[in-house]
Amino acid sequence: MPVAITLLTVPGKLTRERGYTTKTIELFGPSLATETVPAVGNVAQIKEAVARFGAKVRADHPNESFYVSVRLQKGARKPNGYDAASSRNGFGQDDFLHVEEGRDIGRAQGTAPNAAASAPVA
């Protein structure tokens, strides 16, 4: 049964550390855009709607990093696979987040900015 969904942007970023990636979302940050999609019937249609919406917002705000939040209309029944897709970026919600390199990566590669130069051994 088709349901209405609301898509909105939430500021955030992905930070890649050595061996893992963290996601930071500003839950009370300003939204760049909101859109209501009147009828989607399955997870694939939600994914398509997120991709279209995200691409449109990216075109309008090319330097912004944002997460796409997907909300079902109140009282609606979730399509099969909704929870699994929602929890593992199955809708492509993270696809518009910028990825930054964390501090641990610089240290691991010996490029820490405060590292002292080593003196040659005599």
Give 1-19 pLDDT, tens digit per residue. Answer: 789 999 999 999 999 998 8
105: pLDDT confidence band, cut at 50, 70 and 90?
low
In three-state form (DSSP H/G/I as H, E/B as E, the rest C), the secondary structure along the chain is CCEEEEEEEEEEEEEEECCEEEEEECCCCCCCCEEEEEEECCHHHHHHHHHHHHHHHHHHCCCCCEEEEEEECCCCCCCCCHHHHHHCCCCCCCCCCCEEECHHHHHHCCCCCCCCCCCCCC
58: pLDDT confidence band, cut at 50, 70 and 90?
very high
pTM exceeds 0.75: yes
Name the least confident of 12-26, 38-52, 96-110: 96-110
